[in-house]
Chain A
Amino acid sequence: MRRARAVAHISFWIILLTSFFCVTVPKIFSGAPKGSIPPTGDTAFHTTDSFWHAAGQTGVSKRLIAFFDSAPPGKRILILDRDDDLSSSLLGMLTAYLAWPHPIEIVDLARTRVNRGEVAATDLSPPAAIAFCRVPRPAEMPEGKNFDGGLEVVPVAMK
């Protein structure tokens, strides 16, 4: 009886561990390649450039930074996105990330949540540029610089 219990005990844990590995190993092997991007030439922007990688563009981060560098220091960048569109929201935040050291104001056009740039919204001065993140530019606005991935930046008060 004791021997049977011992064998059952060992068998239970062997089955449990085997089941664990059977469930997780396929998941890990199928999940591992997702989001895998080989390092491009410029390691400084490996992650941000990967956003535009799918569109076949390289070096967008540096071009975007160079574009914002031509804005007067301290002038804010207005970023328009939609929180109900994950890619638009991510693009808005990536643009904000790359726009440093300019102050930024993000306006969520979907209005599903409180505007993240609510405090800065009291600033009525014209922004240096307006970034449209997968949001259509109004027809009355002049055409801006297209950075692919749905990002268009319209200079308003640049140098």
Chain B
Amino acid sequence: MELIEVLAALATILAAGFGALTLILREPKCLSFAEQLALSWLGGTGIVSLSIWLLGFVLSGPALFSAVSFICVALPLVAWKTRGAFRFQELRKANRVELALACILAVEILAVGYLAFTHTLGWDGLLNWEIKARYAFANGGVMPAAYLRDAGRAFSHPEYPLAIPFTELWLYFWLGEASQFWAKVIFPIYCASAAILLVAISARLIGKIWAALVAGIVLFFVPQITVEVGSAIVGYADFPMSAFYLAAIGYLLCANRNSDNGDFFRIYAVCLAFLPWVKREGVILWLIAAICGAFVIWRSKRSPKYLCALLPGLCIVLAWRVYLSQMHAVSSSDFMEMNLANLRANIHRLGPILSCFASEVTDIKVWGLFWLMAGLAGVYFVRRHGNAGAIVLIWSIVAPLAAYASIFVFSAWPDFHRHAGLSSGRLLMHITPLACLTLPAALASLPSLQEVFYQSRSKSALATTTCEEEIPGRTPGIDFA
């Protein structure tokens, strides 16, 4: 019975996201079915959590649940009424190599799902996120004012935004009770969504599906993503945020191309808006992605009206700030006030903090050779995409790192090394799926086997032998060019 209730909760989230996606896109056929599902999940969690929070000002209990359910059902119905039958991009038939790689990726996603169910929630997953869902559920779906003002529970960061806790709360509404076990179900879905979007965006940018699939496979072989503290399976908000960030920057890169009719830019705007709603650091990512958006608008000579895409995110940031101040919410004492005096007094910390981040990046136990590969592949990405695309990607990877490192200058912990050391791995996760976007560029730039064989054969006067004869299993998918 519990499983059916959880499936119903997930279906309503997907329905809300799917309806909203269909409504905002001019031509939904530009996206495949899997891509639309992945985006529906990201959009759906944003819509449901935001609706619960906003409607919670006037409703609570069954009325709140009914109102949000109505939104979830109404959105796809309105989309169907106004847009007609739902349409998806038709995919060409996959070759054997693509199928094999897709199967490996599917097994990886299933394995992540299995790990999520057998592991408990992590420290932050329980005490920063699930705690909010549980307390709100006990209060009819509304975040209790007493919790926000409770100095004793400041350790649980009452000031953190509510996308993850209120998605868990939605499951609790359907289950009729808070459940630390079922709350974890949303995280493998974020993994699946991120993998699908990574493959879809890479394939669109590079044009090689096999290379895009390899990037998806590599992502889940990074220990920090799958098994380390703060990984995607223990209920932290870092991986979901990285999925939103990947989608925002990835679709902005797609929008940067001339073929975009504005649909990719709309997807960018939606994912951008939800960044500050997932985690506090999302404000930094929002700012960085917004600068990228403004840059693309300027470079592609689009109308300044496109800048309106930045407004929803800004509204969410401001609304949340106003809400916290009106509720007199306590904030954690992890960081001191950011002002010039504190900056001058603590600027000497920058060197040790940078060295802490450097040692994190080079920690082979946690990251393997991922950052070495991503760095090398970044060179290929720059060569392949040139100018605007490369600037956007490099900026959106480097700028968060710089911003995060700078923030620890203001750490209020007596041992700021420990503070930076504990957080750096999880902060790097925010840009990891995005950094994976560079890999397909490197793989697609490799010389083709065909090229190598032809050169060999032509020199030995055996040019009559075709590549198909030489490598019977050869398909366009393994053609290295």
Q: Which residues on A are within 8 Å of B, measured CB to CB?
A: 2-3, 5-7, 9-10, 13, 16-17, 19-21, 23-25, 27-28, 31-32, 34-39, 43-48, 50, 76, 79, 90, 93-94, 96-97, 100-101, 103-106, 112-114, 116-120
- The contact string, 1 if C-beta is below 8 Å from chain A, for chain B 363-401, is 011001110110010000000000000000000000000
Q: A43-B180, A47-B180, A97-B131 are in contact. Are A34 and B153 (CB under 8 A)?
A: no
Chain B: CB-nearest residue to A77: B152
| Bound complex: CA A17 to CA B182 (Å) | 36
Q: What would 6 more interface pairs be, CB under 8 Å, given A10-B452, A20-B373?
A: A2-B455, A20-B221, A94-B127, A96-B156, A97-B131, A106-B152
B33 CB to closest chain A CB (Å) equals 29
Q: A47-B126, A101-B138 are in contact. Are A3 and B456 (CB under 8 A)?
A: yes
Contacts of A38 in B (CB 8 A): 118
B415 CB to closest chain A CB (Å) equals 9
Q: Are A27 and B368 in contact (CB under 8 A)?
A: yes
Q: Give B147-196 interface residues, CB cut-off 8 Å to A.
A: 147, 150-156, 177-182
B398 CB to closest chain A CB (Å) equals 22
B364 CB to closest chain A CB (Å) equals 6
Residue contacts A-B, CB under 8 angstroms, 19 given? A3-B452, A6-B447, A9-B447, A10-B446, A10-B452, A16-B373, A17-B373, A23-B364, A25-B221, A28-B221, A32-B227, A36-B115, A43-B2, A44-B179, A47-B121, A97-B131, A101-B138, A103-B146, A120-B151
Chain A: CB-nearest residue to B231: A31
Q: Are A100 and B151 in contact (CB under 8 A)?
A: no
Check B40 for interface membership: any CB of A closer than 8 A: no
B230 CB to closest chain A CB (Å) equals 12
A46 CB to closest chain B CB (Å) equals 4
Q: Are A120 and B152 in contact (CB under 8 A)?
A: yes
Q: How large is the interface on B (under 10, 10 to 19, 20 to 34, 35 or more residues)?
A: 35 or more
CB contacts between A and B, total, < 8 Å: 145
B432 CB to closest chain A CB (Å) equals 13
Q: Are B369 and A23 in contact (CB under 8 A)?
A: yes
- The contact string, 1 if C-beta is below 8 Å from chain A, for chain B 444-476, is 001101011001100000000000000000000
Q: A27-B223, A104-B153 are in contact. Are A32 and B330 (CB under 8 A)?
A: no
Q: Are B120 and A50 in contact (CB under 8 A)?
A: yes
Q: Are B150 and A104 in contact (CB under 8 A)?
A: yes
Q: Find A48's partner among B126, B135, B446, B455 (CB 8 Å cutoff).
A: B126
| Bound complex: CA A3 to CA B453 (Å) | 9
Q: Are A44 and B330 in contact (CB under 8 A)?
A: no
Q: Are A119 and B218 in contact (CB under 8 A)?
A: no
Q: Are B368 and A24 in contact (CB under 8 A)?
A: yes
| Bound complex: CA A5 to CA B446 (Å) | 11
| Bound complex: CA A39 to CA B370 (Å) | 33
| Bound complex: CA A96 to CA B222 (Å) | 34
A36 CB to closest chain B CB (Å) equals 4
A5 CB to closest chain B CB (Å) equals 8
Q: Find A96's partner among B118, B153, B365, B446 (CB 8 Å cutoff).
A: B153
Q: Find B369's partner among A19, A31, A103 (CB 8 Å cutoff).
A: A19
B204 CB to closest chain A CB (Å) equals 22
Contacts of B447 in A (CB 8 A): 5-6, 9-10
Q: Find B446's partner among A13, A118, A119 (CB 8 Å cutoff).
A: A13
B247 CB to closest chain A CB (Å) equals 25
Contacts of B234 in A (CB 8 A): 35
